[in-house]
Amino acid sequence: MLYLKKYFTEGLIQFTILLSLIGVRVDVDTYLSSQFPPLREIILGPSSAYTQTQFHNLRNTLDGYGIHPKSVDLDYFFTTRRLLNQVRSLDHLRVPSTELSAWLVHRDPESVVSVAGQSSPSIVLDNGNSLEDWVLEACSSALMFVLKDIDLIDILWRQDIDLGAGREVFDYSSRQKESEVDKRPQEENEDGVEREESWRNGINLQGGQTHTRVDGETGENIPEETSLSLQECLRLLEATFPFGEEPELLFSVLSLTDHEGPSTSQSLLPPQLPQAEPSLDLEQQWQDIMAIMELQVKIYSLLQYFLVPTLINQNVSLHQASLPSCSQEFPHFFGPELDSPSTLEASGPHQPALLSLSSSNSSNINSTFGATNLTGLFLPPLLNGTSNITCTPVLQDPLNSLLEEAMLDEISLLDLAMEEGFSQAQAFQLEDELDSDSGLSLDSSHSPASPSSSETSCSSSSSSSSSTTSATFSEEGAVGYTTDSEATLELEEGAVGGYQPEYSKFCRMSYQDLSQFQNLPQLENISHNHTYNLPLSPSSDPEHQQPLNTVGKKTSRDKQQQAKLQSPQDFLDKQSSRDERRARAMKIPFSNDKIINLPVEEFNELLAKHHLSEAQLALIRDIRRRGKNKMAAQNCRKRKLDTILNLEQGVDDLRRTKAKLLKEKMEFVRSIRQMKQKVQSLYQEVFTQLRDEDGRPYPASEYSLQYGPDGSILVMPRSMVTEQSRKPDKKQKDKKK
DNA sequence: ACGTGTTGTCATAAT
DNA sequence: GGATTATGACAACAC
């Protein structure tokens, strides 16, 4: 059981991320919600650590967790939670819910590009399945991606064969042919139709139990049965794709996989692979997964050699396909961060992704759990330093889409830099602009009132509940209390008791709550030594005043103050708020806490019970007004701060969106440019083959092809075209085409 | 001494 | 209309 638990706690997160990277959506909700609530908390974030507190309202709730109808908590609670989740989701790798679906690129008999995961039923992880089955499924999926990539390379080769002039048998051990193909993208128009068809056949991938191979000579689909086991595949791949070797080796493998016996020519595994290899232990599977990832990186890097411009025009993701050299041009974009010690630490064996997840917040996600670091988590430094995955030309596979979402920012920068000819300095500038704050210096990780700090405080206090300090906090729920003795007093008096302990359970903190922890070592540098006259504090009763700092070691300032004190009464006066001192001076017979926090009816009853002078009544009303206003001011400030933070986040979101849209725009522009080139080449080809009645070619200087309104194509003298084009602009565009 | 951040308080408007 | 809340402005205070 420990064995399983170890893998679950340390490996589940990594597995989830890994599988997400390779295109497998994992349902972790079942596990997280029913079995591992802490994990869910770590991944999805604390649920309510960023909500403000209104002490006077808590007493009206059943358990301290409810929200007063008039409280801003009501909408603020949900809004904050939602926004926080959104913020977290921005940079976190998203953990999809409710299903495990493997995108298995497959090849179907209808010669249509399809992705199995889009239509195939999802594999839902339920608790009935063993983890081993799940792991094996994952391995199978990962392997299928590797093999899919082999198919892709295979296809590319067949593409070259089909497009070759003589359809000669290709020498797989030579890349000379590839270079030749590279050099003649425009010379194959004669074979364009067939080439298109060949491409469709070649790219026709499918996952499943059968592997349909496209015959290089006839173009027919040849179904093949597959029986290669996971181990066999891994051994084959590992033995054949050693790192650092030349691409020629890959060709040899492709030759084997495509043309030799059944033991090597079948690439896709049956989904019931766990049954095929039930003896594989989890560690082996994990190593296999890592090996697969490494192999994928290798294959992706090798794929860069194969991309030819003609393929870009087919069905290859343009922006992916056009980045074959980005790793060489911009290694520093990913390299330093990936190789940074923090990344290595985060991906260490003892604290894998968990620490990064739990400690990250909206402001430092990029540095702890960003997409870039995700690659760093799973890719060997030597390879991920070149970020092959992000820049690798691949077909429209789920890895691509997932990576694109997770690494959008970085990729966008790279794309912008390369596509638009940005200088590296410009790219860095844009990156800094995207990453930088809005100048407000509201990094939540440093703000005492920020959600992250609140969460930290909560976790720290709850995690050390055995200590004297936090014991006071957790037992009395005295968030915001000045002393634990006061809390005890409050309980004894029962004035507003009954809700503080429940309140503490949920670790909700008010705006000023951090003052409670100012003596905690880890928080000493955060909070000033302001002592609040908090509404819940019963310290207003002079007779019950106790020295402060019973919850921790005294600060030097407190010691100095205490040294200066000449009497206990002076000390009490020093520690009391002005209103408390006034109340004491006026001999108000009840606490300021009651004055401030009692509901109006009880407050009036309280006043009626005692015979008070006008001065006392006026002071009591002032105390109540000021006390409520003080809380209101605190809430107001907290709201203001939150608003600023949210706006800041909104600015970041908009910047990301802008970068994404810019990237898409560049892709479209490039696509249009390529289409125009293609149309132009077709135009030239058609035009040069046109002959007049005498069999002579039309001189290009005098004639041009024009699209008729009914779709026909006409040969027109340029003089006529010029006249027509003077009127509408559209025709001029047509003329250019 | 000065700047900055935090907090309490007041005045006022809004609820 | 009174009670409460929200918020800008100011002052006091701590660092």
The string of pLDDT tens digits covering residues A350-372 is 333 333 333 333 333 333 333 33
Looking at per-residue pLDDT, the higher value among A602 and A169 belongs to A602
Is the distance between the Cβ of A41 and the closest atom of strand B smaller than 7 Å? Answer: no
Query: Which residues are A392's β-sheet partners?
Result: none
Is the distance between the Cβ of A510 and the closest atom of strand B smaller than 7 Å? Answer: no
Task: Pick out the nucleotide with least CA–C1' distance to A561.
Answer: C14
User: Is the CB of residue A107 less than 8 Å from the CB of residue A204?
Assistant: yes
Please report the pLDDT score of residue A285 as a whole number: 55
Is A326 a residue whose pLDDT tops 90?
no
Integer distance in angstroms from CA A481 to C1' B10? 25
Is the distance between the Cβ of A533 and the closest atom of strand B smaller than 7 Å? Answer: yes
At residue A493, what is the residue type? E
Is the distance between the Cβ of A532 and the closest atom of strand B smaller than 7 Å? Answer: yes
Looking at per-residue pLDDT, the higher value among A711 and A491 belongs to A711
Integer distance in angstroms from CA A12 to C1' B1? 58
Integer distance in angstroms from CA A572 to C1' C4? 31
Is A93 a residue whose pLDDT tops 50?
no
Is the distance between the Cβ of A676 and the closest atom of strand B smaller than 7 Å? Answer: no
State which protein residues have CB closer than 7 Å to strand C: A 54, 56-57, 70, 72, 528-530, 555, 557, 599-600, 603, 624-625, 628-629, 632-633, 635-636, 639-640
Q: How many other CB atoms are found less than 10 A from the CB of residue A137? A: 21
Distance of alpha carbon A566 from the chain centroid: 59
Cβ-count burial A224-239 (b if 16+ within 10 Å, e if not): eebebebbbbbebbee
Distance CA A483, CA A532 (A): 11
Distance CA A24, CA A103 (A): 6
Nucleotides of B under 7 A from a protein CB: 5-12
Integer distance in angstroms from CA A81 to C1' C6? 22
Q: What is the mean pLDDT of residues A57-81?
A: 36
Backbone angles phi, psi at A221, to 5 degrees: -85, 130
Nucleotides of C under 7 A from a protein CB: 3-9, 14-15
Is the distance between the Cβ of A118 and the closest atom of strand B smaller than 7 Å? Answer: no
Is the distance between the Cβ of A622 and the closest atom of strand B smaller than 7 Å? Answer: yes
Integer distance in angstroms from CA A225 to C1' C3? 81
Please report the pLDDT score of residue A576 as a whole number: 74
Task: From residue A381, give the alpha-carbon distance in Å to each of A48, A376, A385, A400, A412.
Answer: 38, 7, 6, 21, 22
Distance CA A88, CA A91 (A): 6
- Dig out the tokens for A212 from the structure: 């349909």
Integer distance in angstroms from CA A624 to C1' B13? 19
pLDDT band of residue A281 (cuts 50, 70, 90) is: low
Q: Which of A639, A640, A643, A491 is nearest to A71 (CA)?
A: A639
Chain A residues 1-40 within 7 Å (CB) of strand B: none
Q: What is the mean pLDDT of residues A634-655?
A: 90
Looking at per-residue pLDDT, the higher value among A192 and A687 belongs to A687
The answer as to CATH 1.10.880.10 being correct for domain A577-642 is yes
Q: What is the pLDDT of residues A669-721, one digit of tens each?
A: 999 999 999 999 999 998 899 888 899 888 888 888 888 888 888 888 888 88
Integer distance in angstroms from CA A123 to C1' C1? 65
Residue where the block lists tokens 């049954």: A275
Is A590 a residue whose pLDDT tops 50?
yes
Is the distance between the Cβ of A530 and the closest atom of strand B smaller than 7 Å? Answer: yes
Task: Pick out the nucleotide with least CA–C1' distance to A599.
Answer: C3
Looking at per-residue pLDDT, the higher value among A597 and A458 belongs to A597
Is the distance between the Cβ of A101 and the closest atom of strand B smaller than 7 Å? Answer: no
Please report the pLDDT score of residue A570 as a whole number: 62
User: Is the CB of residue A196 less than 8 Å from the CB of residue A314?
Assistant: yes
Q: How many other CB atoms are found less than 10 A from the CB of residue A141? A: 27
Is the distance between the Cβ of A511 and the closest atom of strand B smaller than 7 Å? Answer: yes
Is A510 a residue whose pLDDT tops 80?
no
At residue A53, what is the residue type? T
Is the distance between the Cβ of A627 and the closest atom of strand B smaller than 7 Å? Answer: yes
Integer distance in angstroms from CA A600 to C1' C11? 30
Is the distance between the Cβ of A580 and the closest atom of strand B smaller than 7 Å? Answer: no
Pairing assessment for the beta strands A210-214 and A24-25 based on DSSP bridges: unpaired
Integer distance in angstroms from CA A632 to C1' C4? 10
Nucleotide C4's nearest residue (CA vs C1') is A628
Is the pTM here over 0.75, yes or no? Answer: no
Q: What is the mean pLDDT of residues A229-250?
A: 42
What contacts A193, CB < 8 A, 6 or more positions away?
A: none
Looking at per-residue pLDDT, the higher value among A408 and A592 belongs to A592
Task: From residue A416, give the alpha-carbon distance in Å to each of A120, A337, A429, A444, A512.
Answer: 36, 20, 12, 29, 45
Q: Count Cα neighbours of A243 within 13 Å in the Cβ-side half-sphere.
A: 13
Q: For the packed helices A131-163 and A176-183, what is the interaxial angle rounded to 10 degrees?
A: 70
Is the distance between the Cβ of A621 and the closest atom of strand B smaller than 7 Å? Answer: no
Integer distance in angstroms from CA A532 to C1' B7? 8
Distance CA A542, CA A528 (A): 25
Distance CA A347, CA A359 (A): 14
Kindly report the three-state secondary structure assignment for every residue of A307-368.
Answer: CCHHHHCCCCCHHHHCCCCHHHHCHHHHHHHHCCHHHHHHCCCCCCHHHHHHHCCCCCHHHH
Q: What angle do CA A561, A564, A565 make, to 5 degrees?
A: 90
Integer distance in angstroms from CA A557 to C1' C14? 11
DSSP A364-404: THHHHT-HHHHHHHHS-HHHHTTTHHHH----S-HHHHHHH
User: Is the CB of residue A646 less than 8 Å from the CB of residue A83?
Assistant: yes
User: Is the CB of residue A445 less than 8 Å from the CB of residue A413?
Assistant: no
Nucleotide C13's nearest residue (CA vs C1') is A530
Is the distance between the Cβ of A577 and the closest atom of strand B smaller than 7 Å? Answer: yes
Q: What is the mean pLDDT of residues A32-41?
A: 34
Q: What is the pLDDT of residues A379-433, one digit of tens each?
A: 333 333 333 333 333 333 333 443 344 344 444 444 443 333 333 444 444 444 4
Q: How many other CB atoms are found less than 10 A from the CB of residue A197? A: 13
Q: How many other CB atoms are found less than 10 A from the CB of residue A243? A: 12
Distance CA A304, CA A42 (A): 38
Pairing assessment for the beta strands A221-225 and A703-707 based on DSSP bridges: unpaired
Integer distance in angstroms from CA A438 to C1' B2? 27
Task: Pick out the nucleotide with least CA–C1' distance to A531.
Answer: B7
Integer distance in angstroms from CA A72 to C1' B14? 15
Please report the pLDDT score of residue A567 as a whole number: 57
- Dig out the tokens for A486 from the structure: 């006061």
Is the distance between the Cβ of A358 and the closest atom of strand B smaller than 7 Å? Answer: no
Pairing assessment for the beta strands A114-115 and A105-106 based on DSSP bridges: antiparallel
Distance CA A667, CA A420 (A): 10
Looking at per-residue pLDDT, the higher value among A475 and A145 belongs to A145
Q: For the packed helices A408-419 and A398-406, what is the interaxial angle rounded to 10 degrees?
A: 90
Integer distance in angstroms from CA A579 to C1' C1? 27
Looking at per-residue pLDDT, the higher value among A705 and A121 belongs to A705
Integer distance in angstroms from CA A577 to C1' B1? 28
User: Is the CB of residue A40 less than 8 Å from the CB of residue A27?
Assistant: no
Is A22 a residue whose pLDDT tops 90?
no
Distance CA A331, CA A417 (A): 13
To which H or E segment does residue A714 belong?
A: strand A713-717
Nucleotide B11's nearest residue (CA vs C1') is A629
Question: Which stretches of A516-613 are DSSP H helices?
Answer: 556-564, 568-575, 578-585, 592-597, 600-609
User: Is the CB of residue A255 less than 8 Å from the CB of residue A172?
Assistant: yes
Distance CA A690, CA A685 (A): 9
Please report the pLDDT score of residue A122 as a whole number: 33
* Stretch among A23-32, A187-196, A490-499 having the lowest mean pLDDT: A490-499
CB burial of residue A606 (10 Å; 0-12, 13-18, 19+): middle
Nucleotide B7's nearest residue (CA vs C1') is A530
Q: What is the mean pLDDT of residues A155-169?
A: 32
Integer distance in angstroms from CA A717 to C1' B15? 78
Is A591 a residue whose pLDDT tops 50?
yes
* Stretch among A85-99, A506-520, A559-573 having the lowest mean pLDDT: A506-520
For chain A, what percentages of helix, strand and coil (3-state, to nearest 5) are there?
A: 60, 5, 35
Is A487 a residue whose pLDDT tops 70?
no
Is the distance between the Cβ of A69 and the closest atom of strand B smaller than 7 Å? Answer: no
Q: What is the mean pLDDT of residues A641-658?
A: 91
Domain chopping of chain A, boundaries? 577-642, 699-725
